[in-house]
Amino acid sequence: MMMKIAVLPGDGIGEEVMKEALKVLKKVEAKFNLHFDFTHGLIGGAAWPQYKNHFPQETQDLVLDSDAILFGSVGGPVDAQSEPKWKDCEKNSILSIRKLLGLTVNLRPAPIYKELLDFCPLKTEITGTENFEILVIRELSGGIYFGEHSRPTVDTAKDVAEYDRKTIAHIAKFAFESAMKRSKKLTSVDKANVLETSRLWREVFEDTAKEYPEVKLENVLVDNMVQQLVKNPRQFDVIACPNLFGDIVSDLTSVLPGSLGMLGSASFGNKNIHLYEPSGGSAPDIAGKGIANPIAQILSASMMLRHSFHLVDAADAIENAVSEVMKNGLRTGDIYQKKEGLKLVGTVEMGDAICANISL
């Protein structure tokens, strides 16, 4: 079966790290006798010179004709945001592609490698000394971000949060299914002691729990949640959040691995065409220097294999290869420290090392 993948490197370090992800995918393709059809498209500032548009129709058509989207990053230098090439670039690119695909569920895994605990802001007495991962599942289409926003008077402002049962039931089912494939433990985050939307959220999750008797569901208020993530993150596995709370909680968990360069993500929609991208940005300050960490892009590719194409063995091979590289002491600058047994490497060398470990 030919798997059609739209490749959208975007801006900044996007092109560099995407090359390494594609290198890894081609290694997996050969090892497991797979068939990928990669088609490149322009988006963000990279599309502007040719199209004077951040998300041109040609790229939209490519996206809709694909089985999955492997996305890099978009955006330019902070001091150039007023230039036409960069003005509203992120909004016109990533928000537009989310709307086009109807993306409603976001996955943000935070893998904590024992070899990188020196970069975790928490003490090892809190994190422990072994690998673990927290998976944050965030609802993307509802809540206060998509409600009415207004300034009735110069001295008043209004933002409306709204959820419906169908929207919550969709992410609840996704979260329970994810928990079934992992530790069968699910934490649902809300503010049900104050907010009516949270009361509906909790009600739907508790109703859905009846369909998954093997999964242990715990409801946690969002203020307690952020405290517990700092005090004892290892107690959590799968965490499901409404849009606003998911934005906050996933930002908290993203610091635990020690670098955004280690974090892939996935967004799922109603057209069965899903988007995979690093959690970090375009990092224009280091673009072209060959020093960016490609692991987030590579792990995003692994998520694509796992979720869009159900290639569990191939996805495992990539993730195991990343773990081996961590054990072997290779480090890009964001996760490097002068310490015996560690070697500072660049973008290409990191990609080569991961490929080499897939071949074993």
Q: Which of 145, 184, 185, 216 is catalytic?
A: 145
Residue indicated by tokens 């419906």: 164
Instruction: Identify which of 313, 190, 177 has the alpha carbon closest to the alpha carbon of residue 245.
Output: 190
Catalytic-labelled residue, pool 67, 113, 191, 276: 191
**113 catalytic, yes or no?**
no
329: left (phi over 0), alpha (psi -120 to 50) or beta: left
The active-site residue, picked from 37, 61, 88, 223, is 223
100 Cβ contact partners less than 8 Å away, ≥ 6 residues apart:
60, 63, 64
Whose CA is closest to 140, among 159, 160, 168? 168
Q: Is 87 a catalytic site residue?
A: no
HSE (CB half, 13 Å, CA atoms) of 170?
A: 17
Catalytic residue of the set 207, 251, 285, 316: 251
Active site residue 276: no
Distance of alpha carbon 280 from alpha carbon 11, whole angstroms: 12
Task: Give CA–CA dist 102/173, Å, rounded.
Answer: 17
Can 159 be counted among the known catalytic residues?
no
**DSSP letter (8 states) at residue 144:** G
Q: List C-alpha distances in Å: 93 to 39, 104, 124, 176.
A: 18, 17, 39, 31
**Per-position b or e across 29-43, b if 16+ CB within 10 A of its CB:** beeeebebeeeebbb
Q: How many CA atoms lie within 13 A of 56 on its CB side?
A: 16
* Helices 295-307, 312-328: inter-axial angle, 10-degree rounding: 160
CA-nearest of 75, 2, 13 to 295 is: 13
Cα–Cα dist 16/19, whole Å: 5
Instruction: Say whether 223 is catalytic.
Output: yes
Residue positions annotated with a catalytic role: 145, 191, 223, 247, 251
